[in-house]
Amino acid sequence: MNRRDFARLLAIGGAAPFLTPSVAWPKSSDLPPTPALPDERFWSAVRDQFVMPRELTMLNAANLCPSSAPVLELLYKTTRDMDQDPSQDNRAKLGDGRENTRKLLAEFLRVTPEEIVITRNTSESNNLVSTGLDLKPGDEVLLSSDNHPSNHTAWQEKAKRFGFTVKDVPTPNPHPGFDYYVDAFAKAITPKTRLIGITHLTSTVGDLFPAKEICRAARERGVLTLVDGAQTFGLLDVDLSDMQPDFYSGSAHKWPCGPKENGVLYINKSAQSKIWASIFSAYPGRVGVSRTFEGFGQRDEPAMIAFGEALTLQTKIGRAAIEKRSRELATALYDGLSKIDGAKIWTSPEASRRAAVLSFQPGGVDAHKLATTLYQKNRIGCATRGGTDRPGLRLSPHFYNTHADIDRALAAIKGYIANGV
């Protein structure tokens, strides 16, 4: 089995209608080319690439996105091929498919395949960094205080084990601006600082961090950088050759709309000699850092291959167009929420300091009850945040949403805040 077989496997899906016992799947060939100025009709055609029923409005991309039909189809077809003939001979082509995804990931992030590790998710990617660096007593790690546990708790736990120190750089609300953060990190660096770990876009309130500028300030002082991209990979038109972090992490099942349990860890060439692999087993990748870092034993290669298909769909639509669309929908949400009496928005009013994650407190209404009611009565899916630190509802639209979705959500939220749930 060789590259040609893999190419043939991909081609079959495009040629024949793909049927499961009860479902005919939309095909990516149904999607028209992206117009210079994409209108609602075009985005509605994008929506049709997904198998979610039309009446379901998902505004929870920050948590988990649906896979598109082309991704599901390739996942099913490749899995079926493997399980119909699980011989090593038949499975050999899956290795080519996995390397094809690495190539697509490199193109997507504008780096080289030699710098890409295909992991299970952002959590694993972040932890491969916090476990793999040689940090000892006397070393310091600087974290933005609003990091996800996979980049915050993980560093704190490893500090206990390896003896280094973790320091937080506070993240005030509302977002104090890019200059504030560049300055705050630059000032917090000491001769002991080894790494800065930030979340590119926070999952809590959707604050965007000046990743490129923080990475530059760190690099100029000989400090490594880990950018958690769980909320920007597949949303923003991220260019790692421009941002130049040492490490960047992301998950397939969020904004890229890929399969579950796939992720990426980018390791800059210049950082590869500074980090140890954490898992040594069989079946590593074939190029660059994946040869030492990706030997995780048997993988779900059909899912890794379907991950590539998710990137291909986004590339076909246009990554800049997807970023623009998601930000525009988020701005429509922001503007609508800001007109609702009682809604207290935690996300920055400055469009440049946010992207497509918005959170707000819905007046005196219980956020969990509101989210449940929105889902059960209005078929609108979103997330909640409990506790006392910026609690409320989180809405995160993506390129499969339409302006009609946003209007529906705003009308429902307005009604429940005014009349109770």
Ligand X SMILES: Cc1ncc(COP(=O)(O)O)c(C=O)c1O
In the complex, the residues that contact ligand X under the rule CB under 6 A are 121-123, 148, 150-151, 199, 203, 228, 230-231, 251
**Closer to ligand X at the Cβ: 123 or 314?**
123
Separation of alpha carbons 198 and 213, rounded Å: 12
**Closer to ligand X at the Cβ: 77 or 200?**
200
Q: In the complex, what is the shortest distance from the CB of residue 48 to ligand X, in angstroms, rounded to a whole number?
A: 26
All residues at 6 or more sequence positions from 256 whose CB lies less than 8 Å from its CB, including other chains: 65, 233, 234, 250, 307, 310, 311, 314
**Closer to ligand X at the Cβ: 150 or 171?**
150
- Residue pair 197/144 in contact by the 8 Å Cβ criterion: yes
Separation of alpha carbons 19 and 3, rounded Å: 26
- Centroid of chain to Cα 373: 27
**Closer to ligand X at the Cβ: 151 or 326?**
151
**Closer to ligand X at the Cβ: 13 or 229?**
229
Neighbours of 115 (CB within 10 A): 25
DSSP 332: H
Q: In the complex, what is the shortest distance from the CB of residue 417 to ligand X, in angstroms, rounded to a whole number?
A: 26
Separation of alpha carbons 221 and 230, rounded Å: 26
CA torsion, points 411, 415, 418, 421, in degrees to nearest 10?
Answer: -140
317 SS3 class: helix
Q: In the complex, what is the shortest distance from the CB of residue 262 to ligand X, in angstroms, rounded to a whole number?
A: 9
- Residue pair 10/74 in contact by the 8 Å Cβ criterion: yes
Q: In the complex, what is the shortest distance from the CB of residue 399 to ligand X, in angstroms, rounded to a whole number?
A: 18
The burial class, CB within 10 Å (0-12 / 13-18 / 19+), for 336 is middle
Separation of alpha carbons 354 and 267, rounded Å: 26
Separation of alpha carbons 265 and 286, rounded Å: 15
**Closer to ligand X at the Cβ: 25 or 247?**
247
Among 335, 344, 353, which Cα is nearest to 403's?
Answer: 335
**Closer to ligand X at the Cβ: 150 or 326?**
150
**Closer to ligand X at the Cβ: 13 or 132?**
132
Q: In the complex, what is the shortest distance from the CB of residue 255 to ligand X, in angstroms, rounded to a whole number?
A: 10
Q: In the complex, what is the shortest distance from the CB of residue 21 to ligand X, in angstroms, rounded to a whole number?
A: 31
Q: In the complex, what is the shortest distance from the CB of residue 392 to ligand X, in angstroms, rounded to a whole number?
A: 16
Q: In the complex, what is the shortest distance from the CB of residue 150 to ligand X, in angstroms, rounded to a whole number?
A: 5
Q: In the complex, what is the shortest distance from the CB of residue 128 to ligand X, in angstroms, rounded to a whole number?
A: 12
- Residue pair 102/88 in contact by the 8 Å Cβ criterion: no
**Closer to ligand X at the Cβ: 159 or 230?**
230
Among 207, 200, 172, 169, which Cα is nearest to 389's?
Answer: 172
**Closer to ligand X at the Cβ: 71 or 365?**
71
Q: In the complex, what is the shortest distance from the CB of residue 147 to ligand X, in angstroms, rounded to a whole number?
A: 7
Phi-psi region of 393 (alpha: psi -120 to 50; beta: other; left: phi over 0): beta
